[in-house]
Each structure stands twice: as structure tokens, then as C-alpha cells.
Amino acid sequence: MTPIFELVAVFTFLLILISNIRFLHNIIIAITSSIKDVINLLVKIGAISKQVEYNYDAIVKLDKELKINGRRITSYVQELHRQSLMNTGRIRILLNSYPIGLYECDKNGECIWVNHALCDLFGMEAEAMLGHGWLSAVDESQRDLVLSEWMNAVKKDIPYSWGYNIINQKTQENFRVKAIALTIRDEDRTPLLFCGSVERC
């Protein structure tokens, strides 16, 4: 081989080698860049993982606090309910000894409690007077009108005052009574109960 061809061959080899070196360099740069991207991604994933773990711990802590506060609130409500029952019991003991007939109706106008004096006045047991059971002691000729006037007062939420005749269910004595009732409301002025009295005229 002549020297000129040798030089051409060497030069060609060098060109191929340089080209391969550049190609390898580009590959190394690409791999390095990819590795950096992967590292950055792992760092971000780690940060997100820590944030998730922190948020999870915060949620668990909040859940525990809510459960603790929930138990406290439940206990408080139960205590209020117990105190309410005790106070209601005390009040009703006092009202049962009151000489005037007293009654309590729900927001729909149905009787839910009467005292002993009202039972004696109507000649009926307390259980029999609940709901609209008390109407059985009202004079039959006035029964529909008495109920109509009472339900009208309940529907319109107005004070009730009405006189009518009743027949004592034990003695069968017929006499006139006067009933009155007022509305018990909550803090929003919504009717809760109707409380009233019945007296012999």
C-alpha cells in the first residue's frame, strides 16, 4: 500500500473514531441528564411522601382529638339530659300536688301529661287522658266544637281560652269548666309545647 493510501486510511479511521467518540459523548450526556431527572424525580417523590406522611399523622391526630371531644360532648349532653330529667321530675312532683288541673300538650296539640287534680276533675286515669282521650269526658253535644276550637288555636299558634261542660267519668256529675293554654317556644320562637290549666267554673 502506498503512503498516500495509508494516510487516507488512517485519516478515515480517525474520523470514524472521532464520530464514535462524539456519539458516545452524546449518549453519556443523555444518560447523565436522565439520571439527573430520575434523581430530581426521586427527591420530589420523597418530599411528597414526607408531606403525605405528615398529613396522615395530622389527620390521625385530628381524628383522635375529634374522638376525645366527641366523647366529652356526648358525656356533656348525657349529663344535661340527666339533669333535665331530674328537674322535670322535680317540677312534675310539685305540679302534681297543685290543686288546679294542669296539662301539657305537644306541638301537635296532643296531651302528653296531666296532673292529679285534672285526673280527679275529669274522673279519669292519667293514661286514659293522653292524646285526645280527655275528650271522652267532654259533654257529647260540645265535643266536636271543643276539639275544633282547640286544634284551631294549635294550628294558628294563638292563646287558647274556652269554656265547656264535662261529665266526671267516675261520679257522672255534669259541670262547666274553663280551659286555658299558652305556647312554650324555643329560642327561635318555634312552638315546642302547650301548657295550660282547667278549672271548675
The pLDDT tens digits for 63-98 are 666 666 556 655 655 665 566 555 566 666 777 778
Q: What is the pLDDT of residue 137?
A: 97
Q: What is the pLDDT of residue 4?
A: 54
Q: Which helix (H) or strand (E) holds 89?
A: helix 3-96
**Computed over its alpha carbons, how large is the radius of gyration of the chain?**
45
Residues 26-54 pLDDT 10s: 555 555 566 566 566 656 666 665 665 66
Q: What is the pLDDT of residue 165?
A: 97
- The mean pLDDT of the chain is 77
100-200 under CATH 3.30.750.24, yes or no = no
C-alpha cell at 122: 275529669
Neighbours of 61 (CB within 10 A): 10
Q: What is the pTM of this model?
A: 0.57
pLDDT at 143 over 50: yes
Cα separations in angstroms, 108 against 125, 136, 150, 154, 156: 22, 19, 11, 7, 11
What are the extents of the domains in the chain? 1-96, 100-200
